[in-house]
Amino acid sequence: MKKSFIAALSLIAIVSLTIFSGCQQVPLTGRQQLLLVSDADALAIGKQQYDDTISKSKLSMDPAAKAMTLRVGTRLANAVDTFIKDNKLGSSVPAFNWEFNVIDDPKTVNAFCLPGGKIAVYTGILPVAKNDSGLAVVLAHEIAHAVAKHGAERLSQLLLANYGSVTLADAMKSEPKQTQDLLTLAYGVGANVGILLPYNRLQESEADHIGLILMARAGYDPREALSFWQRMEAIESGSTPEFLSTHPITSERIAAIQNELPEALKYYKPVKDTK
């Protein structure tokens, strides 16, 4: 009995040490988060999913849609790179190797940014975005999820719940099929991004907060976020778009965005070519 007690204590100590060593802070919010997934693994997962999704999708040939996505994406990418440099986050936020694509799917109201800055916009969300500023709301929010490592965080939570705190590499060795299923839930690997595990309310709030500041730093008026989410709320009564299945709207959420605007506006300097 004594041996089993000591073994139990050892296991608790190992798990506690793993959890402690896996804790990091989210940029801007300072929230402690559990990360059992390395940056290298997260980047590899992001690249794998992105390449898989792009290879199976019909890419848009619409020059206006492609130009708009590249224009907005590039400005936000520059703002993110500057934000990381100004706040000395290079050691905690891996370098983004940006890619932008537009997927020709007018029925899919969605967009995503995977680890490493792998961005895709579905044409179905463009009528809701309406213009550059509206698209900046969408992309800044999605980029904020990547900057805050929310995908790695929820995968870590799944690993902890299913295996009692292990690294991704260990889980893949011991339970490859089950771990692949967890990857699908957290990142949508090898599947349509519409089946992503929904972000929790705290992660959504952080992405709203960080996204407002990123778009403001890129020269887009963060007040456009209210108009965009109100447009999304208006179409929520019909069939729920993919974007709303993973980014649910609440009146509290819109109110929180309103309260965060004064902080974001401190970073806002209009750019002449903003559309």
One-letter amino acid of 25: Q
- Look up tokens 């559309």; give the residue: 275
Exposure string (b/e) for 232-262, b if CB count within 10 Å is 16 or more?
Answer: beeeeeeeebbbbebbebeeebbeebeebbe
Cβ–Cβ under 8 Å, residues 132 and 275: yes
Strand order in the sheet with 118-122: 99-103, 118-122, 111-114
How far apart are the C-alpha atoms of 14 and 217, rounded to whole Å?
42
Residue 183 tokens read as: 């990857």
CA distance 223 to 225: 5
Query: Does 233 qualify as catalytic in the annotation?
Result: no
Catalytic residue chosen out of the listed positions 142, 206, 224, 242: 142
Residues with catalytic roles: 142
